[in-house]
Amino acid sequence: MHARSHFLSGGAPAHGEASPGDHLQTLYHYWLVGHQLEHGRAPWRDPYTFRPEAKPQPNYPGWPFGLLFWPLAAAFGLVGGWNVLQLLLYGLAGLAASAWLRELGLPRGPALAGGLAFAIAPYRVEQSIGHLLGPISILIPLTLWAFERARRGSAWWLLLSGAAVASIPLSGQVHLALGVIPFFVAYALCRTRDRLLLVGAAVATLAAIAGGIVVRQTVIKSSTQSGGRSLDEISFYSARVGDFVSRHVDHARSEQFVFLGWATPLVALAGLVVLLRARRFALAALLGLGAAVPIVLALGTRTPVYSAIWHALPPFRFPRVPERLLPIACLCVAALFAFALAQTRRTVVTLLAVALLLVDLHARVYGKSAPGDPDGAVPLAAGRLLELPIFDPGIHYGSVYLWYDTAAQRQRPAGYSTTAPTQAKAIADRLQRLNCGDWSGGMSAELDRLGVRSIALHRGLYIRNLAVPSAGWFAARGLLAHGWSVQRTAGPVWLFERNSIGFLPKRSEPVHTRPIFCQGWFGHTGSGRYMSETHAPFWIYGAGRLKLEFASSPLPRRVTVDGRKTLVAGKRDWHLVTVEVPRLVEAEGGSKRVGLQLTRIGWSAPSTR
């Protein structure tokens, strides 16, 4: 019913905008491949994101499914094309796994059941609603199938096997490659002693390693994550033991969703016993360890294993989500399930096994995600486009802007990427004060330097969003006060351009009785608020002399009201107050770094009412 009007994805609240989520980021990378080819440009380049602060970014996530998405988008539109591709990728996952299992000598029925177990594995499904990890995991059974074909026929199949395994890191899924590469090497040693095939497997392995190095040198090295991830970050994303048997999807902990099913793993254990009894010890060890190792690593710092690997192997210091290797476990569990089922040739047993999988592996992860109105939000003016609110480049709300840019096709200083260039994060941090209508620090000159000619104010992204304060009214106020006017609207999106005649849409002013805190402050502790940044603004309504009280601190401070050092405001109106300190210090307990603690705000005569 909604196949053409809504994305088949996570179904996050939209508030009139497009529903934010990784599906918009993945779709953008897919779309970019065909868009670049149609304009005679390199499909592996992103000419729009983080410009002009950074060079055109590599579009590695567009490989290889961007080529498949191109004709689907042309036939069904971007929304319909995404939905069709989602269904097609599940079919391809099942077919690739089934074909591999057939090469291992399994009958058609058990092989198809194993393919289904891999295709609908809950972790793979959850990582397919938007993340690229789910679709890219299809390349694992494809790699193994092509290698088996090389064993049984022409060695030219090794080219496909090598291309598939190398495509995993080249798609940007370097963490998955950290597990797939040794798994593939072990698989090759397990399945053959033919020197030609082993040399081919070695070449494929080197190609995959080279792909990872290319991504490392061209993206990660110059990004905000060039120094790797801390164990504290990994701890935040580490799964708990109970997560492996919990069918519930907590969207606040979606990365820790690692449900394996209840009956399926037990049947897989039976399949392991079948292999051991058949004296297929090498394959049993490979599939058993292939299932167990990713499961243990998914627990992250909850066991000493991950910490030891983090210290011993430098590549493991870069991923932040230890569950990323679980697609390997999903494939191995599916294969063991198929081997257990192959003990019987009865069709009815196979049908019952399929029914078991559909019930046992079911998890409610999909919803309908709104697309917003990107076509209605296309700027009228040429030049670069800035979207408000500005998010840290690693925050997923920036995915909405990637989706809108499929229509706008403008260079943008901001973007969404967990491996954003360091200079792009720096400019995002600086411009974030515009989210709250704070134009101090030469924001007008900064926008001129960046060549920004249009600003899209996404009011829907200010609503009930923990990443930004509810300050859309002040953002619009600041734009209007600095010569920007509304040229068009598309739902909650207002498009501003400078020095042109526009109109003023209806706005709802915040209540006057409480201050509005901008980015730069932690939440209220009960005894006041701590500064989270060295520049911390807030808005307050009233007139007279502003009275601020701070907890004792050695930090020097600079306080301004409407950009002036005097704390007197003569006009009853909203006034911007900024508090600045030279540095942050460790809070008591050392859990975070803070500035001053603001304990009280008020006005002296004339009083506010």
423-458 pLDDT, tens per residue? 999 999 999 999 999 999 999 999 999 999 999 999
The answer to whether residue 57 sits within a structural domain is no
Same domain, yes or no: 559 and 581:
yes
The answer to whether residue 17 sits within a structural domain is no
The answer to whether residue 10 sits within a structural domain is no
Same domain, yes or no: 406 and 358:
no
Query: Could you say which of 471, 498, 525 is where a domain stops?
Result: 498
The answer to whether residue 8 sits within a structural domain is no
The answer to whether residue 52 sits within a structural domain is no
Q: Tell me the angle at which helices 281-298 and 174-191 cross, rounded to the nearest 10 degrees.
A: 160
Same domain, yes or no: 146 and 75:
yes
| Nearest alpha carbon to residue 332 among 446, 205, 231, 186 | 186
Same domain, yes or no: 345 and 473:
no
pLDDT tens, 203-236? Answer: 999 999 999 999 999 999 888 888 888 888 899 8
Same domain, yes or no: 429 and 310:
no
pLDDT tens, 328-384? Answer: 999 999 999 999 999 988 889 999 999 999 999 998 889 899 999 999 999 988 899
pLDDT tens, 507-518? Answer: 789 999 999 999
pLDDT of res. 604:
86
Residue 313 DSSP label:
-
**Burial (0-12, 13-18, 19+ Cβ within 10 Å), 87:** exposed
**Burial (0-12, 13-18, 19+ Cβ within 10 Å), 254:** middle
Q: State which amino acid sits at residue 291.
A: A
Q: Calculate mean pLDDT across residues 414-421.
A: 92
Sign of the Cα pseudo-torsion (246, 251, 253, 257, in order):
positive
pLDDT tens, 477-503? Answer: 999 999 999 999 999 999 999 877 888
d(CA 596, CA 569): 23
Q: Which domain holds residue 555?
A: 516-604
Residue with tokens 């603004």: 537
How many structural domains is the chain composed of? 3
Q: How confident is the model at residue 189 (pLDDT cuts 50, 70, 90)?
A: very high
Query: Could you say which of 333, 362, 391 is where a domain stops?
Result: 362
Same domain, yes or no: 91 and 238:
yes
d(CA 449, CA 451): 5
Same domain, yes or no: 89 and 133:
yes
d(CA 460, CA 464): 9
Residue with tokens 């260039």: 421
Q: Calculate mean pLDDT across residues 411-420.
A: 93
| Nearest alpha carbon to residue 182 among 293, 302, 307 | 293
Same domain, yes or no: 132 and 241:
yes
pLDDT of res. 609:
46
Same domain, yes or no: 352 and 468:
no
pLDDT of res. 450:
95
Is pLDDT above 90 for 36?
yes
Phi-psi region of 542 (alpha: psi -120 to 50; beta: other; left: phi over 0): left
Is pLDDT above 80 for 607?
no
Q: How confident is the model at residue 252 (pLDDT cuts 50, 70, 90)?
A: low
Same domain, yes or no: 335 and 237:
yes
For residue 282, the number of C-alpha atoms closer than 13 Å in the C-beta half-sphere is 9
The answer to whether residue 247 sits within a structural domain is yes
For residue 561, the number of C-alpha atoms closer than 13 Å in the C-beta half-sphere is 20
The answer to whether residue 241 sits within a structural domain is yes
Query: Could you say which of 439, 468, 498 is where a domain stops?
Result: 498
pLDDT of res. 250:
74
d(CA 305, CA 561): 53
Computed over every residue of the chain, the mean pLDDT equals 93
Is pLDDT above 70 for 32?
yes
| Preceding amide of 389 cis, omega within 30 | yes
Instruction: Output 251 or 423, whichever has higher pLDDT.
Output: 423
Residue 508 DSSP label:
-
Q: State which amino acid sits at residue 20.
A: P
Same domain, yes or no: 96 and 163:
yes
Q: Calculate mean pLDDT across residues 106-135.
A: 96
The answer to whether residue 27 sits within a structural domain is no
pLDDT of res. 176:
96
User: 412 near 387, Cβ under 8 Å?
Assistant: yes
Provide the b/e sequence for 113-142 (b: ≥16 CB within 10 Å): bbbbbbbbbbbbbbbbbbbbbbbbbbbbbb
Same domain, yes or no: 142 and 270:
yes
d(CA 257, CA 51): 35
Is pLDDT above 60 for 569?
yes
Please report which helix (H) or strand (E) contains residue 69, including its range.
helix 65-103
pLDDT of res. 162:
95
- Quick check: helix, strand or coil at residue 33? helix
pLDDT of res. 282:
96
> How many CB atoms lie under 10 A from the CB of residue 188?
23
d(CA 443, CA 452): 11
Residue with tokens 């199938």: 145
- Quick check: helix, strand or coil at residue 63? coil
Instruction: Output 485 or 504, whichever has higher pLDDT.
Output: 485
Which neighbouring-strand residues pair with 486? 496, 503
| Nearest alpha carbon to residue 144 among 61, 201, 209 | 201
